[in-house]
């Protein structure tokens, strides 16, 4: 077996000296440096499968990054991101020089007591990047080297592959592990929900979708027929001519706070953008004065948690709803959730795996990053109570109706991971049932003006943070400097942290006015530059 690994690995050579890290979202870099990484992740996925005696997923994608890049993410048995200890193994394997590869493999097998006599099953999927096809082959090569079986799903969104893995390992209790199964389950739940929205006009059913010229556009097209015109999608940036993620997609819209290119938005029309692998979604519209209005992950979490809470009350169920956010959540959102809606709010480090983990502690955990990546997790007990009430024949009509709506919402949500298609259908259904327009949703609260900046430093690891990344511990003096600056502005908050995906430090600031948020972000950037080893040009004030 090791002989075959040695021999095959020469067909997937590692460029000498190249080191990569399994970051917040797996490996990600220019596609031409990734062939050996893919082969090795095939090996690792086979080991993980033997270890867990379950099917493991490998998704080839670089999400919102440029088309020339690529990347890979490993998926654990319940459809969640791979456990942190194995991220370390992934980094070791990816960086082993050719001659040390088998030793690293043997070490992992010994440390984790992996029996090679176990079978290995790996589900593989890819996005629409031109490099993804050959990189997928390298993954499959790695799996078969260790005697594993691969099932290649071809072109799928990242969350679709997470879903398949979860279905397989729950023996189809969660759903059928096919694209058809995914479309049928979600569309059935969506149609069930929208039946409760009376007299919906075609205008209300209409949604403009920016597919980021990626896989989400392809898969939404496939799904349309299943939705039976209950949703009327006008699809833009469908990949037929534009470049993946170029001037479009959820990341572009959120970062630039601007509509994507190539989308024709009428005033007040409801619009959304997927990112390049369709695991994020952002909503927006132009108001009557022609101003662009963004509804981000915080607003999505607010709509969903508010609706779930109301339905639980109507159903007479005592089930707790909590919202999990990161430090990037807008201060207005956090305040609204805590003070007006009275829901438990908790804050974790950036990165979906942290939010997902924290959300598992609640009966119902709604988690969203401000950038639009998130989902809802239902505890077994919460789901059981809801489904029992649906079956309960004595329940009065209102209670039963609410329980049915909750049950369909559970079916519509992809609990394995954040899923742009599933989240979009949940949002569309909830707005329809509530009879709420996008303007009405937007005015639940008003975002505090905010600004994100990036600072280049020699070594971003000199910054150490605590309290879910809201406070700097090192370098000395930086937190004091931030505290002093924050005091100069009204309703202000600011924090800095090293990015987990790029070689930069991120600065976030919010204040009562845009000028204030811009000024504070700039001043904090300067403090980072001077106290944390800034390189290149000194940050300049924003115009």
Ligand X SMILES: CC(=O)N[C@H]1[C@@H](OP(=O)(O)O)O[C@H](CO)[C@@H](O)[C@@H]1O
Helices (H), 146-178: 158-169
Determine, following the binding rule CB under 6 A, whether residue 437 of this chain makes contact with ligand X: no
3-state DSSP assignment of residue 49: helix
Q: Is 506 marked within a binding site?
A: yes
- As measured in angstroms, the least distance from the Cβ of 25 to ligand X is 4
Considering the complex, state which of residue 127 and residue 523 has its C-beta at the smaller distance from Mg ion. Answer: 127
Query: Is the Cβ–Cβ distance between 408 and 193 less than 8 Å?
Result: yes
Determine, following the binding rule CB under 5 A, whether residue 419 of this chain makes contact with Mg ion: no
The footprint of Mg ion on residues 6-65 (CB under 5 A) is 63
Determine, following the binding rule CB under 5 A, whether residue 423 of this chain makes contact with Mg ion: no
Quick one: how far is CA 105 from the chain centroid? 30
Determine, following the binding rule CB under 6 A, whether residue 499 of this chain makes contact with ligand X: yes
Q: Is 221 marked within a binding site?
A: no
Q: Is 498 marked within a binding site?
A: yes
3-state DSSP assignment of residue 532: coil
Determine, following the binding rule CB under 6 A, whether residue 66 of this chain makes contact with ligand X: no
The footprint of ligand X on residues 3-42 (CB under 6 A) is 24-25
User: What is the full DSSP assignment across 175-223?
Assistant: --SSHHHHHHHHHHHHHHHHTTSTT--HHHHEEEEE-TTSHHHHHHHHH
Q: Is 279 marked within a binding site?
A: yes
Q: Is 500 marked within a binding site?
A: yes
User: What is the full DSSP assignment across 410-474?
Assistant: HHHS-TTS--HHHHHHHHHHHHHHHT--HHHHHTTS-PPPEEEEEE-BS-GGG-EEETTTTEEEE
Among the listed residues 371, 422, 450, 479, the single contact to ligand X using CB under 6 A:
371
Residue numbers annotated as active site: 63
Determine, following the binding rule CB under 6 A, whether residue 351 of this chain makes contact with ligand X: yes
For 308-343, b/e burial (b = at least 16 CB within 10 A) is bbebbebbebebebbbbbbbbbbbbbbebbeeebeb
Tokens of 243: 């470049």
Near ligand X by CB under 6 A, which window of 153-161, 232-240, 312-320, 499-507? 499-507
Determine, following the binding rule CB under 6 A, whether residue 350 of this chain makes contact with ligand X: yes
Q: Is 393 marked within a binding site?
A: no
Comparing C-alpha atoms, which of 429, 428, 418 is closest to residue 271? Answer: 428
Determine, following the binding rule CB under 5 A, whether residue 275 of this chain makes contact with Mg ion: yes
In the chain, the largest separation of any two C-alpha atoms, in whole Å, equals 71
- What H or E segment, with its residue span, contains residue 334? helix 331-335
Question: How many residues line the site for ligand X (CB under 6 A)?
Answer: 15
Among the listed residues 501, 514, 530, 542, the single contact to ligand X using CB under 6 A:
501
**Positions in the binding site for Mg ion (CB under 5 A):** 63, 275, 277, 279
Applying CB under 6 A, the residues found at the interface with ligand X are 24-25, 63, 328, 350-352, 369, 371, 373, 499-502, 506
> Which residues define the annotated binding site for substrate?
369-371, 497-501, 506
Binding residues for Mg(2+): 63, 275, 277, 279
Task: Output the known binding site.
Answer: 63, 275, 277, 279, 369-371, 497-501, 506
């Amino acid at each position: 077996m090791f002989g075959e690994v040695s021999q095959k690995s020469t067909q997937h050579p590692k460029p000498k000296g190249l080191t990569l890290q399994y970051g917040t979202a797996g490996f990600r870099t220019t596609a031409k440096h990734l062939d050996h990484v893919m082969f090795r992740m095939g090996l690792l996925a086979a080991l993980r499968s033997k270890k867990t005696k379950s099917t493991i997923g490998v998704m080839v994608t670089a999400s919102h990054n440029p088309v020339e890049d690529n990347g890979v993410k490993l998926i654990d048995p319940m459809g969640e991101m791979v456990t942190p200890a194995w991220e370390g193994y992934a980094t070791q394997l990816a960086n082993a020089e050719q001659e040390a590869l088998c030793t690293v493999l043997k070490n992992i097998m010994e440390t984790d007591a992996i029996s090679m006599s176990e079978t290995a099953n790996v589900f593989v999927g890819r996005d629409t990047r031109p490099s993804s096809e050959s990189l997928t082959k390298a993954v499959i090569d790695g799996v078969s080297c260790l005697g594993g079986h691969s099932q290649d799903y071809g072109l799928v969104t990242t969350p679709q592959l997470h879903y398949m893995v979860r279905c397989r390992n729950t023996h189809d209790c969660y759903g059928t592990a096919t694209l058809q199964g995914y479309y049928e389950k979600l569309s059935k739940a969506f149609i069930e929900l929208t039946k409760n929205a009376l007299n919906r006009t075609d205008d209300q059913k209409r949604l403009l979708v920016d597919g980021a010229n990626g896989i989400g556009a392809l898969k939404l097209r496939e799904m349309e027929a299943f939705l039976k015109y209950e949703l009327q999608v006008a699809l833009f940036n469908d990949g037929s001519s534009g470049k993946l993620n170029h001037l479009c997609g959820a990341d572009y819209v959120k970062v630039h706070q601007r509509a994507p290119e190539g989308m024709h938005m009428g005033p007040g029309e409801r619009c959304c953008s997927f990112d390049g692998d369709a695991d994020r979604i952002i909503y927006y519209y132009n108001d009557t004065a022609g101003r662009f209005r963004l509804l981000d992950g915080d607003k999505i979490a607010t709509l969903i948690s508010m609706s779930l809470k109301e339905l639980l009350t109507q159903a007479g169920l005592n089930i707790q709803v909590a919202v999990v956010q990161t430090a990037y959540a807008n201060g207005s959102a956090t305040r609204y959730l805590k003070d007006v809606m009275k829901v438990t709010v908790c804050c974790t480090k950036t990165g979906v795996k942290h939010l997902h983990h924290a959300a598992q502690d609640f009966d119902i955990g709604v988690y969203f990053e401000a950038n639009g990546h998130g989902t809802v997790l239902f505890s077994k007990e919460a789901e059981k109570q809801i489904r029992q009430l649906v079956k309960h024949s004595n329940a009065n009509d209102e209670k039963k109706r609410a329980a049915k709506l909750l049950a369909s919402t559970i079916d519509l949500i992809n609990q394995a991971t954040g899923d742009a298609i599933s989240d979009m259908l949940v949002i569309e259904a909830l707005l329809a049932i509530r009879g709420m327009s996008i303007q009405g949703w937007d005015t639940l609260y008003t975002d505090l003006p905010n600004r994100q900046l990036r600072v280049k430093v020699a070594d971003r690891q000199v910054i150490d943070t605590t309290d879910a990344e809201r406070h700097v511990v090192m370098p000395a003096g930086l937190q004091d400097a931030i505290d002093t600056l924050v005091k100069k502005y009204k309703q202000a908050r600011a924090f800095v942290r090293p990015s987990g995906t790029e070689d930069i430090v991120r600065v976030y600031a919010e204040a009562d006015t845009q000028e204030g948020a811009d000024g504070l972000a700039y001043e904090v950037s300067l403090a980072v530059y001077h106290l944390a080893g800034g390189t290149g040009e000194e940050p300049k004030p924003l115009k």
